Amino acid sequence: MHSLIEQERAYGAHNYEPLPVVLTRGKGVYVWDDSGKQYIDMMSAYSAVSHGHCHPELVGALTDQAQTLAMVSRAFYTDKLGLFLKKICELTGQDKALPMNTGAEAVETALKAARKWAYTVKKVPKDAAEIIVCDGNFHGRTITIVSMSAEPQYRAGFEPLTPGFKQIPYGDVDALEKAITPNTAAFLVEPIQGEAGIIVPPKGYLKQCADLCRKHNVLLICDEIQTGIGRTGRLLACEHDGVKPDGVVLGKALGGGLLPVSVFLTCKEVMNVFTPGDHGSTFGGNPLAATVGLAALKVLVEENMIAHAEKMGDYMLTELKKIKSPLIEEVRGKGLLIGLSINPRYYSARDICLRLMKEGVLSKETHSTVVRFAPPLLINKEQIDFVLKALNRVLTQAYEEIKTT
């Protein structure tokens, strides 16, 4: 085993199972390992590197701000945070934003806001507020967030879990209507489920959910941590259904692939339930993060990355669906968030990812059955064709091995 891999395994917690490659640098859609081999990055750090590795304008903004003022906490105002918050509110159409660091922190912020809104505005009885979530959801790893997960591994051994959540099937509008009660504070949903295997709901699902939530005075909160910031060919994936949620959670790509930046966005009525001391974060909204977040949004718009993601995503989905292999069960996705479902009778998705790695393509499996393709948004047709040819070789070779055994 590689000495650096051994070192990481010896001194680090075994809470990940990385592919056996040691990466040392990146640029655009490419990364290189410690032997100098080049790969196309088809993961982009679960959408955190949507702008590409080491985007020069983002690195420049980070460097300049780091040499000026990086961190003072929210005990004081700075000249950067207001600019960032104004921009993200204008782009999303929301009134106010609360900055945090990681996506999980932003989800926790949304949960706190929904509960306090339910008690102070909707007048739900004390300790009775419910939040509806979907089976197959993934919103993070904190104790409260895993409490609303349907995945046994995420919950086992971390009890007692946080109460107040109700799970329903994903993509089922009737189930949502049946689950809503007078005590329902919010419906928290991913417009496309990422960790579940790139699960795309029926067209119009989110719009019907929005209508139901409005009818029953329930907040619709969209977790766009993976799907937002242009990933699906829209700024927010909920725009595909023409939906403006009551709340939006953003993270990952908001940090430009350089540092953690997240926000919870909502209307004044919801955000105004917070008063000084209710919630906070030492690092949330620091000048460095605000500068990079603002630059990430600026680059996204100026370089037309959203429309490019839609065009390249359509091309890649079309070409993937042309591949005829018994190993493929389904191709699904939207924009540059694509899942390739592998028939588990033949191979695990990890086996396919290991073979792709040898071909110079880096991806990662989801639940051992799905290969994820979510490259930086600046990927071009030539680079996609390279990936498609590599995938064709891998699937052909893998199936030939099955026939000869």
Active centre residues (catalytic) = 138, 223, 252
Q: Which two tokens stand for residue 110?
A: 């949304």
Are 185 and 115 within 8 A, CB to CB?
Answer: yes
CA neighbours within 13 Å on the CB side: how many for 320?
28
Q: Cα separation of 117 and 302, whole Å? A: 37
Long-range (24+ apart) CB contacts under 8 A made by 344-353 are 344/368, 344/369, 346/398, 346/399, 346/402, 347/398, 351/398, 352/327, 352/394, 352/395, 352/398, 353/19
Distance of CA 238 to the CA centre of its chain: 13
The closest of 180, 194, 197, 255 to 222, measured between CA atoms, is: 194
φ/ψ of 23, rounded to 5, equals -90, 140
Burial class from Cβ neighbours inside 10 Å (0-12, 13-18, 19+) for residue 109 reads buried
Provide CB contacts within 8 A for 298, sequence distance 6+: 57, 87
Residues constituting the chain: 405
Q: Cα separation of 44 and 252, whole Å? A: 10
